[in-house]
């Protein structure tokens, strides 16, 4: 399978624990995105990497959240001291072309199936 893969697919944790999600993008894609989706809502942007550089972060990404992409390949999203409000689906996506690039494929994000977090 050459799509975006996310691990784990489902994580149940107790409030106050730390959790880490991993995303493996499509290999030739240099752009990687994290979104959060809660029930009944559309995905909300969290952060974005171009190669290993984190170029944009949402205000939703509080100081309990940290994302890394150390070698410009896979990425991790860590949530420290989880709260019940962190329960959501965390979506990872990758792309080859950014939004503003003059290419027919601009803006096409390839999403993984998501990592569902349940905080008890």
Partner 1 sequence: AQTVTQSQPEMSVQEAETVTLSCTYDTSESNYYLFWYKQPPSRQMILVIRQEAYKQQNATENRFSVNFQKAAKSFSLKISDSQLGDTAMYFCAYALSYNTDKLIFGTGTRLQVFP
41 binds partner 1 (CB under 8 A): yes
List, in order, residues 6 or more apart from 31 with CB less than 8 Å away: 48, 49, 50, 94, 95, 96, 97, 98
Q: What distance in Å separates the CA atoms of residue 25 and residue 3, rounded to the nearest whole number?
A: 7
Collapse the DSSP code of 19 into the 3-class scheme (helix H, G, I; strand E, B; otherwise coil) and give the result.
Answer: strand
43 binds partner 1 (CB under 8 A): yes
Closer CB to partner 1, 14 or 42, in the complex: 42
- For partner 1, which residue of 80, 87, 96, 98 counts as binding (CB under 8 A)? 98
Per-residue interface string for the shown chain with partner 1, residues 67-96, x marking contact by CB under 8 A: ------------------------x-x-x-
Q: Which stretch binds partner 1 (CB under 8 A): 13-21, 22-30, 71-79, 101-109?
A: 101-109
List, in order, residues 6 or more apart from 62 with CB less than 8 Å away: none
């Amino acid at each position: 399978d050459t799509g975006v893969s996310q691990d784990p697919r489902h994580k149940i944790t107790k409030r106050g624990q730390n959790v880490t999600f991993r995303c493996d993008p499509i290999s030739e894609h240099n752009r990687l995105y994290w979104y959060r989706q809660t029930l009944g809502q559309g995905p909300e942007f969290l952060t974005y990497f171009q190669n290993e550089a984190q170029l944009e972060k949402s205000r939703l990404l509080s100081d309990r959240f940290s994302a890394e992409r150390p070698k410009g390949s896979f990425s991790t999203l860590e949530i420290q001291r989880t709260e019940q409000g962190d329960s959501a689906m965390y979506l990872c996506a990758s792309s080859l072309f950014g939004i503003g690039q003059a290419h027919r494929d601009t803006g096409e994000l390839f999403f993984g199936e998501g990592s569902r977090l349940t905080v008890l």
